[in-house]
A and B are shown apart, each in its own frame.
Chain A
Amino acid sequence: MRWVDIKEGFKEFLDEFKKEKTGIAGVILLIILVLVALTAPYTTIPNLPEKWRNSQYWEDNPKNVPPTWYNMFTSQKLVPQEVYYKDELKITQLNKNTTIIEVDYVLPENYYFGPQGIIVKNINVTLNSPYEVPTISVYFERPDGKTVPLLVNKQLSSSLTVAVGRDSTISSNIYIWLVNVTEGREITMFEVPLETILISDMVAPLFAKVEPGMNVDDIIENPQPLPGTYKLILKIDNPAPDENKVIYDDIKVTFLGRTYGTMGTDYLGRDIWAGLIWGSRVSLTIGILVSVLSTIIGLVYGVTSAYLGGNADEFMMRINEIFASIPSLPILILIGATAGHITLWFIVVLLVIFGWMGIARIARSMALQIKEQTYIEAAKALGAGNGRIIFKHILPQLLPYAFAVIALSVPGAVIAEASLSFLGIGDPTAVTWGQILNAAQAQAATTKGYWWWVIPPGLGIAVVGLTFVLIGTALDKILNPRLRRL
């Protein structure tokens, strides 16, 4: 084949491909997917796979909350995440020993529940005099004028995180305050019912109507939101300001949203949107690699088998049948489960080992037809070797078919990888759609109705699959050699 012929043939093919609407749609989708995958570190969080399993990294995120845009479809609006840094806070130095930090938070009308929690962290303390440790008190001022003491005189250290909604002491204090307001009596820490504190949402009552005469359990069960401006007050007492330094430069106050980001969060507070975008890398890479490799191996194997004929053909076809009759998914699970640490490369190799047989069979039957053509005989008569005939004369004939097969077998490979990840057999250093779904299944997300966690990864798989099916069927239509019908 001369270079000019190839150029000509390619131009002809392009002209024909442009007429296939589905093919064009597929190519556009593919370009978008590749761009999304390539720009993942810039559009979302850089180096996500390293952070994905580190639950501390996701501490500042709410858990199991839907995406922010979900508010557009409901009448019960849910607040988004809000983060305050040093510049947005009001820090007043009352005197040498006392500092007051104030945070204003507005709960607008039509919003339900208020935030999922409040987290204050990154107050740096340098301790030189251990007997005069600085202390922190946290108060919460509500629009109805009532003030809730959340935390009183707790010793302050650099590692301290005030977590309203996760800390059971704070939840108990809220309960004590609720009883105090509604019934007018003071109860102690030991009278607080532990189950209520651990199971119920104790942050919602903070942002709800609480009046004397109301029932505490009713408020916890069914809080009525109280819109207005709230104020979180941190009072820090430092008895020895010269020895013990308290620095607020890095302070971070987070009002955990009841909604989060583009795609919500999972049970660890992980940003599902970032996971989705990063997952596209794995899906595309594995899908394309597996289908390209298994198609090449299958083609070469099938053509060689057909060309050699006789006993060699019989032998090679028996091996093919042996691979085909081993049930692949169970064996893949077994190998994956016993192999210990699995890398993505290992998964590619496994999927290729169990993925080349069908193509080899079809390639063989096609090559059997080509083999009988006179030009092969001519090449043989001229003294061409087996390798030359196979690679130079038979394989190029099958190439157009190979491209269609590659495109059409990508969805299978993508689904196979996702299936393995879904069963918990995958590369622990990667973020994949299958793993996101695996976590969703393990946390029973379907039975709790966490749709934002279940639907998007599967849609991702479907979109990648559809992209290649569209391209594949278009290619098939154009390149379909007559041989394929036989």
Chain B
Amino acid sequence: MGYLKYLAFRIVNAIIVLLIVTFIISALFVKVAEESNKSKMYEELMLWERSEGAKIKQSQGLEAFEQAKAAKQASLEDKYELNVPYWQKVYNKAIRTLKLDFGTTSMPIFGTNNVSDIIKVAVPRSILLFTTATIIVIILGIFLGVRAARHAGSVFDRALSIFALVTYSLPMWWTGMMFLLIFAYKLGWFPLSSMFDPQLTGWAHIKDVIWRLALPVFTYVFVIFGGWAWTTRNIMIGTLQEDFIMAARAKGIPEHKIIYGHALRAAAPPIVTMIIFALLGSLGGAIISELVFNYPGMGRLYWVALQQNETSLLIGLTYFFTVLYLASVVLADMIYGFLDPRVKVGASARM
């Protein structure tokens, strides 16, 4: 009963947080949209005054013009939802967002106006780049980290630690610019822009995609895997000093089995948590790195939405990011409770 109750508690908790965050996001974005809509409305009204309004003024006189102007303004206010009270709008937007009805954008992006469809186009691209890279990072990081922990204090261990410390302080987008400078500009091995060529199909398309993805993926792996290896190493060193490892060694279990069977199993909970956050986080892309590489994923989409003031798209994307994060939290809690039973006992005892 403990585990299920613990799980239910975590999920309800996440849903409450999601509700509140959705309202906050809606309040924030609706406020921004109201400002831009107001100026848009006045612009349109001015335009009308100069064209149709002038005609009415000429043919029917000033009074009719004033009437027509008031009617036009009312219809425009209706169009831009300026006559609806602010909190009413926030509430409507939040409810619609929670129902996954994100609305439409004013300009088509990726050939469609529907926010859900736009996100559906961008997510696979971010997965293609960042999830692939994250998987490489996880495998490389855990493997190297475990190796460093086994030979703690060796040259390999020290080199890895230094590399991790250095890459931890590098901005990923700047590293991307550097690599573009070296590998794309100077050596010409990779393209300067990672935007796909839409004319290619079949095998040529796949080759084009791989060629264009190589540099961003390499950058991501280069900057991130050191930190992963270092964290894994620290966790593993702590675990390798525990008594049960010594007992296993005393029993004569092969070293390979001790490392991967006993120690890594015991060190799993925090590592699994990291994996979940990294994998789900990778769906959201990276705003600046995608800008640097000119890659049309989620991050760049967010930037485009900000530049073009697409409120619906912004709310949709932000909601998507929030859901991803909360899903990671719940999933991590779930697996943590599964791998380390002490956690759920502690939680249910408190309840």
Contact = CB atoms under 8 A, between A and B. Distances in A.
Nearest to A485: B238
Interface in B10-46: 13, 16-18, 20-21, 24-25, 28-29, 32, 35
Contacts of B17: 318, 321-322, 325
A458 interface: yes
A337 interface: yes
Contacts of B288: 419, 422-423
Contacts of B170: 458, 461-462, 465
Interface stretch (B52-60, B125-133, B317-325): B317-325
A321 B16 CA distance: 10
Interface in A402-459: 411, 415, 418-419, 422-423, 437, 440-441, 446-449, 451, 454-455, 457-458
Contacts of A447: 180, 184-185, 192
A462 B226 CA distance: 15
B232 to A, nearest CB: 15
Nearest to A447: B192
A334 B169 contact: no
Nearest to B320: A327
Contact of A449 (B165, B175, B185, B287): B185
Contact of A466 (B169, B180, B184, B329): B169
Interface residues of A, number: 44
Contacts of B165: 22, 466, 469-470, 473
Max count, chain B CB within 10 A of own CB: residue among A322, A330, A334, A419: A330
Tell me what chain B mostly uses at the interface: helix, strand, loop, or mixed. Answer: helix
A446 B32 contact: no
B266 to A, nearest CB: 13
Contacts of A448: 185
A194 interface: no
B219 to A, nearest CB: 13
A326 interface: yes
Given A322-B17, A455-B181, A469-B168, A327 B24 contact: no
Nearest to B31: A338
Nearest to B319: A327
B325 A325 contact: yes
B191 to A, nearest CB: 10
A334 B166 contact: no
Contacts of B32: 334, 338
B170 to A, nearest CB: 5
A312 interface: no
Contact of A330 (B18, B169, B292, B321): B321
Contacts of A321: 13, 17, 329
A464 B317 CA distance: 33
B325 A324 contact: yes
A379 interface: no
Max count, chain B CB within 10 A of own CB: residue among A321, A464, A465, A473: A321
Contacts of A470: 165
A210 B24 CA distance: 71
B239 to A, nearest CB: 11
B284 interface: yes
A468 B168 CA distance: 11
B186 A322 contact: no
Given A449-B185, A461-B169, A337 B178 contact: no
A326 B174 contact: no
A333 interface: yes
A318 B9 CA distance: 13
A483 interface: no
A329 interface: yes
B177 A446 contact: yes
Contacts of A324: 325
A357 to B, nearest CB: 11
Interface string B285-324: 0011001100000000011001000000010011001100
Given A325-B17, A461-B171, A485-B238, 13 more contacts: A321-B13, A321-B329, A325-B18, A325-B21, A419-B171, A422-B173, A423-B303, A440-B177, A461-B170, A466-B165, A466-B169, A469-B165, A473-B165
Interface of B: 13, 16-18, 20-21, 24-25, 28-29, 32, 35, 165-166, 168-171, 173-175, 177-178, 180-181, 184-186, 192, 238, 284, 287-288, 291-292, 302-303, 306, 314, 317-318, 321-322, 325-326, 329
